[in-house]
Each structure stands twice: as structure tokens, then as C-alpha cells.
A and B are shown apart, each in its own frame.
Chain A
């Protein structure tokens, strides 16, 4: 039995192992921290892996999520009046917190887009931190970063618009999204009853509802 098709089996094991080993090396290199090797080969590796084997295993690392992020929105009605702010994130958040068996992922509709807005590429992020530390002018958002943000804001505006069907009796002309990032009190203040988080707010441009739907 051990001799039947022995060459075929051995060759399959060796050739297959070499190919799969090369694949796994690429996958590992794509996950390595920014390094000289990655600066040289990174693009080629990403080109090979994308899209079907692209991966990211920086799960809650290096910096764990530690703030509440979400959006509010208000609307301009057809008669020109402006509505109150509506808590758009609340519904998805309530859904995910109320179940432990495959809870709804709707909350990620908002958090994924906020991540698109707040995250930046590793090289640019490091450059900006260094510029800020050296008190130099910080590199402004690049064109592709602006495009990503515009797309994310459009998506958030559409979601917000869909979430408030009764506002202005359904006659909305424009929607504005307000993003909030609430930093929770740090560990050192965990026993202090007066500790409060800090809230950072960013208002995006008004979006015309005709562009959304």
C-alpha cells in the first residue's frame, strides 16, 4: 500500500507544502508591524492577498477601544424649520445589548463608518504624530482620505435619514450628522464618584436628501 503512487503522493506533499508555505509567509508578512521589509514588499504582498485572503488580526490592539462613539442627526424640513437632534445610534446599540445569541449587528453600520473617518494609514498616522510632537505643520488630509470621509458621511447621513421617518412629517430636505466620541473616565479615576467622561463632537456638512435616496 505504501508504494502505490508513492511519487505522486510525495510530490503532492512537497509541492503543495511549498506553495501553501509561501502563501502563509505572505499572510504573516502582511500582519507584521511596519518594518523595512514591509515598506519594500508590503504592496506586493497586499496585492497578492487582496481581496480574498486579506486579513487583519489587530483585534482590540494595540489600543483597545475605550470610548463610546455614535452619531446624532437633525433635519431641515421643507418649510425651512430645523428639527431637534435625534439619537441615531440608540436603536442599534439597544439591540446589541439586549441579546447574547448572535445579536444584531446593526450598531456596526455606524461604528464601521466612524472608524473609516477616524482611522488613518499607519505611515500617515506616525508622520502626523511626529509633526505634532515637533510642533511642525501637520499634514492635512490627503485627497483619498477626503474621499473616504465623504463616502462615510454620505452613508451615515443616509442611515440617519432612514432612522427618522416621522420627523418634519416625512418632508425632509436636508440632514446633518453630528459625530460624538465620549472618552470614559480613566482607570485612575475608577473609584471617584465625580469622574466624568469627555465628549468630543464633530458636525459634518448638511446632506441634501435627494442625493441620499
Chain B
């Protein structure tokens, strides 16, 4: 057992789940981008100043801020909306770093508030988790290099740079705790529900027109075995998810189960954005798996595998998975 001081030092020197949290940033950026893209044709009606919710009524019911509230001009609306789209694309591609992510959050919050009725749990999770991502080094992987970040980092005093890893690890921990809270709460409330206790909830949910996939859903809800298995399986998975991720050996399995669960929600219930947002947050538990997948991909893409520094950098480090998929620390930042 390490002394508490040594443990603290370890946590403040080794950045955990860098690849996973970078994946979270990419996927959240993509879902945000698709919020704009999938409603692009209807943007004037759904979000515009002369649309479903006229500008003056929007201002009256607004809580918090929204860039859309600043001016009733249609031109301003188009500008903010397209800027939001560009910011989401930049986050997906990994351009702009954390200031870009902060801007994306502000624009996304603004468009969410413009028509709150369109939102679901996925959007709720997205606007809560992005501030935590701002603490993390979520642009260390899957990002287009611009070189700007390195130049800025070089000018930051060492004492501030020393905060990088502690903040990163706290941010990752917050994302992980938040997604556990989501699953456990939704699981425990299901335990209280009569239909979930009876094992018939899936039967009821999947017949509702809004959440039914014609031609497919009936294959599940007309099968008694699948209904009961799916209902109890859902509750068991949600309630026990935190235990699954607490045990390192079970962690990838819990995350994989969650991804499978949410992909089927996306397919059967048409909640694509919701499902991908949940999966994005699950990625913090899959950092090691992502790392080894990346390494395999790199060796396959190159005919003669060369040992480059980059490769070593992303190789799954010592099996320090017990700390949450620990990464080798990056000397230049500590």
C-alpha cells in the first residue's frame, strides 16, 4: 500500500484515460454537430425569431443566457446558428482546443434554450459534461495538430502547467461519476415502477408510436421472453454499472454492455443523439481498449512497423488500469 502522499503524487503526475476522454470530446462534438445538421432545413421555424417560439416570448421564458436572445434580427440568428455549427465541427475535428470547446458549449446551450421542448436526456448530459471536459486534456488525441497549443503552453509559467494533470484527472473522475449517477438514478427509479417490476416495461414503451420502429419493434414486444429479459436486463445493467466500472477487470465489459444497450436504443427507439451521448461518456472507461485498438490500427497501416515516439506514447502503458487506464505521464507538462 502506498503512503497517502505518494498516492496523491501519483494522481497528480499521471494523466488517466487521455485517449478515452479525447474520444468523448470527438463524439460529443459530432452529436452536437448533428443537432444542427439534422434540423438544418427546419432551423428558421424551430429556432428562428419569427418561428414556433417568437422572439419576445422566448426572451420571457429564458432561464440563463442565450446568444439567440441578443437580437431579434434574422441575420443575427443565421450568424449565431452557423457559428454554432462551425464550433461543433471544430470540436469534432479537434481544432481550437479547450477555448473552442468552451465556445461550443456556450453556442450549444444557446440553441438548446431556444427550443427546450426538443431536448432529451442526451442533450442534458452533454451540457453538463462539457464543462468537466474543459478540465481535461481531451485534445491530446484525435485532434488535428495546429501547433498553436504547444506554443501557448511554452509561455505558461511552470506552476500553472503543473496543474494540468491534477485538473485532468479530476475532470475525468467527474465525467465518470456523472455517467454513473445517470445510470444508477435511472435504474433505481425503474426499480420503483410497477411495469419495470413486472418485467413488462419494454412491451409498453416499444409500442408507443413515437418510439416504435415500424417492421422491427414488434419482433421484440411480441416475444414474451425478450420483453422480460430486456426489462430486467436493463434495470440490472443500470443499477450495477458503477460496480462494473469499479472493478478494473470488469470495466471494459461494463462499458461494452452499455454501448450495446445504447446502440439498440438508437436503433429501436430512434434516439440516436441520446444513445451516442451516453456512449461518448462511456468511452472514459475504455481508454486502454481504445489505445490498443489505435496501436493495432497503426501497425496495420504501416508495412514496416517502426517504433516511433508517437507510437510509444499511445501504447497502453504498464497495466495500471487499476487507476482508470493510466497513461504514461507526459514529461513536458509536469
Contact = CB atoms under 8 A, between A and B. Distances in A.
A9 B13 contact: yes
A9 B9 contact: yes
A106 B39 CA distance: 9
Interface in B198-232: 198, 200-201, 203-205, 207-214, 222
A206 to B, nearest CB: 20
Interface stretch (B94-102, B161-169, B247-255, B288-296): B161-169
Contacts of A8: 159, 162-163
Contacts of B193: 61-64
B118 A105 contact: yes
A35 interface: no
Interface stretch (B83-91, B179-187, B279-287): B179-187
Residue of A4, A13, A108 most packed against chain B (CB within 10 A): A13
Contacts of A162: 45, 52
B9 A61 contact: no
B208 A68 contact: yes
A97 B214 contact: yes
Given A59-B121, A65-B205, A1 B13 contact: yes
A12 B174 CA distance: 15
Given A64-B196, A65-B211, 4 more contacts: A31-B181, A66-B195, A97-B209, A109-B118
A16 B117 contact: no
A60 B167 CA distance: 34
Nearest to B192: A62
Contact of A24 (B124, B181, B334): B181
A78 interface: no
Interface in A87-131: 93, 96-97, 99-109, 111-113
Contacts, number: 185
A196 to B, nearest CB: 13
Contacts of B214: 97
Interface string A49-80: 01111111111111111111000000000000
A106 B46 CA distance: 8
Given A27-B178, A105-B118, A50 B192 contact: no
B93 interface: no
B11 to A, nearest CB: 6
Nearest to B5: A10
Contacts of A104: 38-39, 42
A202 interface: no
A96 B118 contact: no
A1 B331 contact: yes
Contacts of A86: none
A14 interface: yes
Nearest to A49: B128
Contacts of A52: 64, 109, 127, 131
A4 B9 CA distance: 11
A200 interface: no
9 contacts: A9-B163, A13-B166, A16-B167, A53-B128, A57-B185, A61-B196, A66-B195, A100-B270, A187-B204
B37 interface: yes
Nearest to A90: B209
Contacts of A33: 189, 192
B227 to A, nearest CB: 8
B77 to A, nearest CB: 18
A116 to B, nearest CB: 8
B220 to A, nearest CB: 13
Contacts of B192: 33, 61-62
A211 to B, nearest CB: 11
Contacts of A204: none
A153 to B, nearest CB: 13
A57 B121 contact: yes
B63 interface: yes
A64 B204 contact: yes
B259 interface: no
Given A53-B128, A100-B270, A102-B273, A27 B13 contact: no
Residue of B186, B195, B210, B214 most packed against chain A (CB within 10 A): B210
